[in-house]
Amino acid sequence: MNNPEANITNENELHNVFKESCLRHFEAKEFEQIKNAYELANAKSTGKTRHSGEPYIFHPLRVALILVDEIRLGKTTIIAGLLHDVLKDGLITSQEIEKEYGPEVLSLLIGLNKISSLYTEKLSLQSENFIALLLTISPDVRVILLKLADRLDNIRKIRNFEPEKQLKIAQETNLLYAPIAHRLGLYHIKTELEDISLRHLDSEAYFSIARKLKDTKKAREQYIERFSEPIRQILDEKGFNYEIKGRPKSVHSIYGKIYKKNVDLSEIFDLFAIRVILNEVPKEKEKEECWNVYSLVTNIYAPNPTRLRDWISTPRASGYESLHTTVIGPEKHWVEVQIRTRRMDDIAEKGDAAHWKYKEAGKAESHDEWLRSIRDALENKDSLAIEALPNQKQILRNTEIFIFTPQGDIKKLHEGATVLDFAYSIHSNIGNTCTGARVNEKIVPIKHKLSNGDTIEVLTSKNQKPRLEWLNIVASNRTKARIRRAINENLFKQAEVGKEMLERKASQLKLDFNDQVILKIINHFKYKRALDFYQDIADEKIDLQTIKDYLTNIGKEDEGKTAETQEVSAVEYVPQKSVSDNYLIIDKNLLNIDYKLAKCCRPIPGDPIFGFVTVDRGIQVHRKTCPNAKDLISRYSYRIVQARWTDDSKSSSFIAEIVVTGIDKIGIINHISEVISKEHQVNMRSLAINTKDGIFQGFISVFVNNANQLDVLLANISKIKGVLKAERLDKAY
């Protein structure tokens, strides 16, 4: 973590370091464009400071320096790095940037601002999903590299932030940004991100490990020197051009192994480690030479065969190549030996940038191909994952897309979601009145499928109403349920208006308005459903004068009739023309939120049931013996649907309520509980006992599978000595 520029406090000194770095990597013409961007950013922020007190320009200058020296990006990205804060903070306009530097720089900056607007603590993202989200927000991977440089500078200067902000930065960095650096093979950046994060997330553990490493540093260095001496002798003897250096283990890496394996510091295999780097090896000879060195090393020290890692034959997705083995050294210490060429070592330290430098072998760098390789590395899900620190929750979301509002807020939706899904995710009223949307500044219809990273603004109209065909547009079951509910609500509101109009007309003619009258009218006008009939009355599609004439005729036909109409009980009632000609099937799990079991009678499988369509609570399922059944059927026959249980439903548990009356004597309640819980293996939900004048009354709520099980339970409770009566409660208490 040797980054002297991070500690420079003089602007001229920092600018000179940046200038020298640019002149090493860019031609004079490119440098002039970069210099122009620096001068513009500096002019726009003259006199401004950060909350830490340092000059405003320091952060973008350090970010640009990271992009030049540590990630090795091109002119366009460096310019974006210099300008990213002045655009975000409103010190310069998008139009100014596009005019001066072109749409490519502006596109990078817009993508970076989108990433910066993510509220990651609300998303509970795993690193894999975060990378996918970043790629969809901006397909240009330079945006991700820009953000990585921005985060690296922020973590280096983390002490400039408030403690709460420090914790947030550390958590995000370890969980989200270190894996990106790892995926790209930027191991020096990954190590720095992890170690600084750990210092703030678990400072006690960090400083404990760091202290032990410091205390043992001299002894470890002396040991490595003794261990390396015989290897040097044999390599010199064989004529290799090489370098051997100790490879210090990072604090975060040691912490992870201690946490994962629950071992002491001394038990970690590769606490001692060296790296053998072979110089001036032709690429076609690299593999052979590395294996030759492996043979020489393992002839001196016995290897652990389970610790051999060949990343030369099969490089990691990031391009990392190396041969690793762990051998037993003097004093029986395990030592990890890494064997690689200079080219491999550069790639291991600098990632893909070094890879493409070597691939082009001195020619003009194929920048586009390099960027494609970065994207491939980011998209490769087989790369080694970074383990989260303890207590950092990671939740996988494989089928989600992320959508932005114009204000920069983010919404998660199911893959395949449409404009209508998004509208309903905001609020049902927004969904009900949605007419389309403005997606990425383009007007689209409600059926338009959304893509990851879209920015959407919903368009509404008070004249819009939900329609049945909307069910074929949306992807989410929850959205479909909301649409059904809205349609039902509108239908029944209209039907209520129509029914009231018809009742008033019947009242004027002094006619009884009952089910028989309704059925006669419906049949006469050839409607299949009372619901449709009432709606058409409300919509004035039926001439009320025609209905009046027919009602008058009914009145004349009924005059003089003295015979009373036989009342039909709720148990016997079957709707002749219901809301649906089909049965409402009550399945095992009642997953559809439109269907609910009525609490007034708590039906269970085996009970005769019917469905009642409510205005705004979906369909409620009642027992035909429900105390409310007669009133519902007589007043709202057009809302009644036939219903039945499936066989699957009998394997689930349902709440039933019973009342037990008996003589109040010692032990009787315990006896009843034993019959319920032990003999019948039935779980009790609640038990309430009232006593008066030597008589008790127990109200018990139990979980049963069906009505037959409940009947058997009641019969056995009734047999208990002292129990006078045990029966099902018809109404919830």
Model confidence pLDDT, tens digit, residues 8-44:
778 888 889 999 999 998 899 999 999 999 999 999 9
Domain boundary among 156, 171, 200: 200
Let me know whether 367 and 331 are in one domain: yes
Burial letters 538-569, b for 16+ CB under 10 A, else e: beeebeeeebeeebeebeeeeeeeeeeeeeee
The residues pairing with 541 across neighbouring beta strands, listed in sequence order, are none
Model confidence pLDDT, tens digit, residues 131-175:
666 766 666 788 888 999 999 999 999 988 888 889 888 988 888
Report d(CA 491, CA 542) in Å as an integer: 17
Let me know whether 446 and 350 are in one domain: no
pLDDT at 635: 73
Let me know whether 218 and 146 are in one domain: no
Let me know whether 283 and 362 are in one domain: yes
> Nearest-CA neighbor of 608 among 706, 516, 529, 705?
706
Give the helix/strand (H/E) hosting 715.
Answer: helix 707-718
Q: Which residues of the chain have pLDDT under 50?
A: 120-124, 269, 353-365, 381-398, 559-581, 588-593, 732-733
The residues pairing with 395 across neighbouring beta strands, listed in sequence order, are 125
Which CATH number is 424's domain given?
3.10.20.30
- At how many degrees (to 10) do helices 203-215 and 251-261 cross? 110
pLDDT at 557: 57
Which CATH number is 722's domain given?
3.30.70.260
Let me know whether 304 and 330 are in one domain: yes
Report d(CA 323, CA 520) in Å as an integer: 90
Domain boundary among 450, 475, 500: 475
Residue 621 lies in a domain: yes
Residue 563 lies in a domain: no
Let me know whether 12 and 159 are in one domain: yes
Let me know whether 332 and 230 are in one domain: yes
What does pTM read for this prediction? 0.54
Amino acid at 376: D
Let me know whether 192 and 338 are in one domain: no
Query: Measuring CA to CA, how many Å separate 39 from each of 54, 61, 107?
Result: 18, 11, 21
pLDDT at 565: 42
Let me know whether 497 and 597 are in one domain: no
Let me know whether 236 and 323 are in one domain: yes
Residue 448 lies in a domain: yes
Report d(CA 210, CA 196) in Å as an integer: 12
Write out the residue range of the structural domain in which residue 610 sits. Answer: 584-649
pLDDT at 550: 76
Domain boundary among 630, 649, 668: 649
The residues pairing with 242 across neighbouring beta strands, listed in sequence order, are 278
Residue 94 lies in a domain: yes
Report d(CA 55, CA 45) in Å as an integer: 9
Contact residues for 173 (Cβ-Cβ < 8 A; gap 6+): 151, 155, 193, 196, 197
Total structural domains within the chain? 6
Residue 282 lies in a domain: yes
Let me know whether 40 and 121 are in one domain: yes
- What single DSSP character describes residue 402? E
pLDDT at 445: 95
Residue 366 lies in a domain: yes
Residue 594 lies in a domain: yes
Label each residue of 611-675 as H, E or C. Answer: EEECCCCCEEEEECCCCCHHHHHHHCHHHEEEEEECHHHHHCCEEEEEEEEEECCCCHHHHHHHH
Residue 120 lies in a domain: yes
Strand 442-444 relative to strand 309-310: parallel, antiparallel, unpaired?
unpaired
Let me know whether 227 and 195 are in one domain: no
Query: Measuring CA to CA, how many Å separate 240 from each of 231, 235, 303?
Result: 11, 5, 22
> Nearest-CA neighbor of 432 among 458, 406, 407?
458
pLDDT at 486: 85
E-strand stretches of 440-512: 442-444, 456-460
686: exposed, middle or buried (Cβ count in 10 Å: 0-12, 13-18, 19+)? exposed
Q: Return the CA Rg of the chain.
A: 38
